């Protein structure tokens, strides 16, 4: 029988979530030059194509799109 990994405490939830964000940021950091050249529409399309939990992945990707927009000095146009 399948038993999903469910953290027992709030601290464990936080560690898992923080680790996930760091891993995603690190992976995207490796491709930062490519991402900086992409339009926001293509970034959103890439976020939609991300595997695993679509809603969570899309939310994380949209946060990173907003960060990239701020770094490029543009006002982000992506809304949830």
| Tens-digit pLDDT profile for residues 16-56 | 666 555 665 666 665 665 666 667 777 667 666 665 555 56
| 2 falls within a domain | no
| 77 falls within a domain | no
- pLDDT for res 42: 74
- pLDDT for res 63: 73
3-state helix, strand, coil in the chain (%, to 5): 70, 0, 30
Domain carrying residue 28: 10-71
CA distance 57 to 48: 8
Give me the number of domains the chain comprises.
1
| 24 falls within a domain | yes
* The dihedral formed by the CA atoms of 7, 12, 18 and 19, expressed in degrees to the nearest 10: -70
| 22 falls within a domain | yes
Q: Which helix (H) or strand (E) holds 53?
A: none
- pLDDT for res 47: 65
| 65 falls within a domain | yes
Confidence of residue 7 (pLDDT cuts 50, 70, 90): low
| 48 falls within a domain | yes
Whether the model clears a pTM of 0.85, i.e. scores above it, the answer is: no
| 78 falls within a domain | no
| 4 falls within a domain | no
Does residue 52 come out as left (phi exceeding 0), alpha (psi in the -120 to 50 range) or beta? left
């Amino acid at each position: 029988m399948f038993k999903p990994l469910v953290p027992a405490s709030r601290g464990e939830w936080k560690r898992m979530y923080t680790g996930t964000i760091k891993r995603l940021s690190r992976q995207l950091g490796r491709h930062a030059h490519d991402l900086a050249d992409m339009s926001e529409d293509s970034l959103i399309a890439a976020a939609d194509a991300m595997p695993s939990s679509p809603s969570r992945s899309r939310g994380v990707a949209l946060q990173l799109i907003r960060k990239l927009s701020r770094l490029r000095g543009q006002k982000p146009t992506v809304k949830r």
